[in-house]
A and B are shown apart, each in its own frame.
Chain A
């Protein structure tokens, strides 16, 4: 009993200790609960919310690109694709894929790739089997749906260019995002998202892209969507209106045909580029569809360069189209008067060298208008010699040759306008007098793009510092954004000097004997003034000159001269300027001048057919009569 009572007392004591210990431990649990659920609650609440809510991006529709009248040039088209969701295939995705393979063509290699992707992804994530299905394929798949568990037709969007290839170079194209592209926009991470890779699509990519919407969905731990909690629609991409006239674009494109050529048509008052075509072109829709290896090889190895936008990236010796610049420089310096005559014997000497006129026997006495009309080389050698390269250089820069025009289109080249400093710096040799002479007829180092030639013609016709542009306005959901335009400043060239040169250009086309008289516009109200140019691609040797200069059609294509023509119309109240360069086209008067005539005539006819002016020139009195 005694021992038993001792044991009992010890038990009671130790039970009390044990019980207190348990109370302490339970208090620790309560303390921990308080810490988690009260002290740290805000932090964990946020974390739970983040856990639960997954934000999905909704791709916005890409903005349209339209011409100046609203005609669609680039739109989005519905793209039907077939997808397979593994969990709905009754556990047999391969079976569904095989059956699908009997309806649409799927290669074994593709099948393997698709099955691998299905395995890699969670069973509720759909996997694309094929995109860009035709209507027929869609219908066949729909009919066979009962035999295709887990397959589904899904509609996405792809870029489509309804006018196909006519404006391919201006519009550019869209393609998948590559590693190199900046990853600042989460939209770029979306599978199948495309961005502008060239042309207007690239320039205005950010605006055309729009902003992605978000769909907040409740997901479970596996990422399966339980329900949509909140949806915020994104903003569709902005609509970009270009200055192009789609109809004119088509006409110019067809007129150039398969020649390696470029044409630019501008409004000389606004700088609007109404048409810009580089030929041959390509089908931008093919880029979306995916080019075959062969198609791609054909494009990049074609000697006529279908992928290059020759209008802004093709650089050509301007040839005789450069002569107006020399004339204006000479008039400005006062080294010649318009009526002063220079004798052309067919050649002239400078130092030990002999310089030839294109006409073997010479033109005899010519004044400035006559020199333009007959494109007399000797006259321009002489006045170039008198005025010097530096002044020619400065005038050329003022008229837009040798520097980028600032057109809102990626990929423009600057051309080249040589000067004494330029030659010393890049070639390391001093300028030679003879080089001034050949520059005077647009040969030698001088290079210009077709766009620069059109800008030059615009500036000669208007006397203003015309800057070309392609973007007319951008319409976002917030409103309309019109690129800032300032009234073009005067070039500071004497009005009389411009008049002389303009009448020289008028003589070229409208006076019998002018180099492009055959290509004149016969309707007086649409009359065109212009200037031919023929740029040598090869050097004519003395031996050949002594014997007989080979005709262009006797030479292989790549050795023939480039044919150029610049012009503006109507002559007495200029509104449009155009330039055409046909690579290896032979002579400007034969090949390029008729094209410019047709283009300028079409441009004016389209205007009068619409009964309105594309741009209302200010301070021009004869407006009413012509509208």
Chain B
């Protein structure tokens, strides 16, 4: 009934939309990214000519800041774009992403070894990153167009399952185990939210477990090693378990309050690998202790709660599914990264969103947040099954 009063809002002006933008969310986003800039500043070696100098804007913090600014622009554009437009082009975007994945695959098999990106001159596009977003859009559109009865009957599940399986196989072949897992888990969540019966998940889960020994055969040696190392890192402190061990030492030595800004011995003496990318949370925990780590997790939690609020307030199924799809992907980044650096999960190469150094992930995250904000702005827009405005 509420929608009736708000019907006019499908013709929102740009000015109105900007007012409707979820500014609290944007503010949290900026704060979290600032934590990232600070950590990247600390990670860089100080000026050797000035004794006691800590950190530097070069080479990471400055560039990350520029990318963040660019990403924010993209996010705003995406957010202000009508949700119905995104829905209309969901499949198109999905197939473009799939096509690029195949392109990378073909190019990779012809060219030299594994390649994950396509160079666009000023920007390196990773089709797998694009796929993480477009699969959400495509699945959301598919489930939006189906009734609950249809969703709960098996034949209607073949199409979406294929939509997940095709890119998963391609990304696994790259090989990129972390992204594949995130893609499958993120998609699984959309299936779950759309109303697919629970026993089907149980079935998939069981067959997945049964498939582990088979899948093991297909893993690369280095992937097998990572899993084995994960299972027992202390057995091999100087070999493959070195990074995990050093990361745990960094955490533990940080203690409650940390060693202070720029004072992390583990990080700054290079005992820690990839301190500016995948292991940045370790450095943060070493320098700012449990308190600093909890503060960052708190920021993430607030962002997640905002995401949930946006999802629950959206009127269209499409909007809801997109919102929680985005939030879940964001969550998976956080959980896998932090779990990984603390030795809870195998090292699969997933960055910490908004904080880790890296352009592609930053832009991909902000793009998906643009979608989330778009859902928020267009929360009262109702959409018909065919993707048009539902005018009863």
Interface positions of A (Cβ within 8 A of B)? 1, 3-4, 6-8, 10-12, 14-15, 18-19, 22, 25-26, 28-30, 32-34, 36-38, 40-41, 43-45, 47-49, 51-52, 218-222, 226
Contact = CB atoms under 8 A, between A and B. Distances in A.
13 contacts: A3-B148, A7-B195, A15-B312, A18-B193, A22-B304, A25-B331, A26-B335, A28-B339, A33-B285, A37-B252, A38-B290, A41-B254, A51-B266
B256 interface: yes
Interface string B305-329: 0001001100001001100100010
A185 to B, nearest CB: 26
A44 B248 contact: yes
Nearest to A222: B270
B193 A14 contact: yes
A546 B191 CA distance: 128
Nearest to A33: B293
A118 B158 CA distance: 63
Contacts of A19: 304, 308
A375 B318 CA distance: 130
Interface string B241-252: 000001011111
Given A14-B193, A19-B308, A48-B250, A29 B266 contact: no
B256 A37 contact: yes
B297 A30 contact: yes
B300 to A, nearest CB: 8
B192 interface: yes
B98 interface: no
B87 interface: no
Interface in B341-392: 342-344, 392
A437 to B, nearest CB: 77
Given A18-B192, A25-B335, A37 B254 contact: yes
B253 interface: yes
B294 A41 contact: no
Contacts of A38: 255-256, 290
A610 to B, nearest CB: 59
Interface string B280-298: 0000010001100110010
B335 A48 contact: no
Given A18-B192, A26-B297, A32-B344, A48 B265 contact: yes
A108 to B, nearest CB: 37
A15 B193 contact: yes
B271 A220 contact: yes
Given A29-B297, A37-B290, A51-B266, A44 B285 contact: no
B189 interface: yes
Of B189, B265, B297, B320, most A-chain CB atoms within 10 Å = B265
Given A25-B335, A51-B249, A11 B317 contact: yes
B255 A45 contact: yes
A33 B256 contact: no
Nearest to A48: B253
* A-B CB proximity, top 3 nearest: A44-B252, A48-B253, A220-B269
B342 A33 contact: yes
Contact of B252 (A25, A36, A218): A36
Contact of B195 (A14, A18, A222): A14
Given A26-B335, A47-B252, A48-B249, A7 B148 contact: yes
Interface string B131-170: 0000000000000000110000000000000000000000
Contacts of B321: 11
Nearest to B237: A47
A34 B256 CA distance: 9
A11 B320 contact: yes
Nearest to A46: B253
A25 B250 CA distance: 22
Indicate the size class of the contact surface on chain B.
35 or more
A10 B148 contact: yes
Given A18-B189, A19-B308, A33-B342, 19 more contacts: A6-B148, A7-B148, A8-B320, A10-B195, A11-B194, A15-B324, A18-B328, A29-B339, A30-B297, A33-B290, A38-B256, A38-B290, A41-B256, A44-B253, A48-B250, A219-B269, A220-B269, A220-B271, A221-B271
B262 to A, nearest CB: 14
A12 to B, nearest CB: 6
A48 B266 contact: yes
A6 B320 CA distance: 14
Contacts of A4: 317
A221 B269 contact: yes
Majority-rule SS of A interface residues: helix
Contacts of A25: 331, 335
A70 B189 CA distance: 90
Contacts of B269: 51-52, 218-221, 226
Interface of B: 147-148, 189, 192-195, 246, 248-256, 265-266, 269-271, 285, 289-290, 293-294, 297, 300-301, 304, 308, 311-312, 317, 320-321, 324, 328, 331, 334-335, 338-339, 342-344, 392
Contacts of A218: 265, 269
B271 A11 contact: no
A51 B271 CA distance: 8
Contacts of A22: 304, 328, 331, 335
Of A4, A26, A36, A40, most B-chain CB atoms within 10 Å = A36
Contacts of A11: 193-195, 317, 320-321
Contacts of B312: 12, 15
Contacts of A32: 339, 342-344
A48 B258 CA distance: 13
A18 B320 CA distance: 13
Contacts of A36: 248, 251-252, 342
A3 B147 contact: yes
B185 to A, nearest CB: 11
Given A11-B193, A18-B192, A37 B289 contact: yes
A47 B301 contact: no
Nearest to A36: B251
Contacts of B147: 3, 7
Contacts of B271: 51-52, 220-221
Contacts of A10: 148, 195
Contact of A29 (B194, B250, B338): B338
B28 to A, nearest CB: 16
A554 to B, nearest CB: 77
A517 to B, nearest CB: 82
Given A14-B193, A15-B193, A33-B293, A47 B320 contact: no
Contacts of B342: 29, 32-33, 36
A25 B289 CA distance: 20
A48 B252 contact: yes
Contacts of B308: 15, 19
A33 B193 CA distance: 30
Contacts of A48: 249-250, 252-253, 265-266
B135 to A, nearest CB: 17
B355 to A, nearest CB: 15
Contacts of B189: 18
A43 B252 contact: yes
Contacts of B265: 48, 51-52, 218
Contact of B255 (A14, A30, A37, A47): A37
B255 A15 contact: no
Given A12-B312, A30-B297, A45-B255, A220 B195 contact: no
Contacts of B248: 36, 44
Contacts of B297: 26, 29-30, 33
Nearest to A23: B301
A191 to B, nearest CB: 23
Nearest to B382: A4
Contacts of A34: 290
Nearest to B149: A3
Contact of B270 (A7, A12, A41, A221): A221
Contacts of A47: 249, 252-253
Contacts of A41: 252-256
A49 B194 CA distance: 52
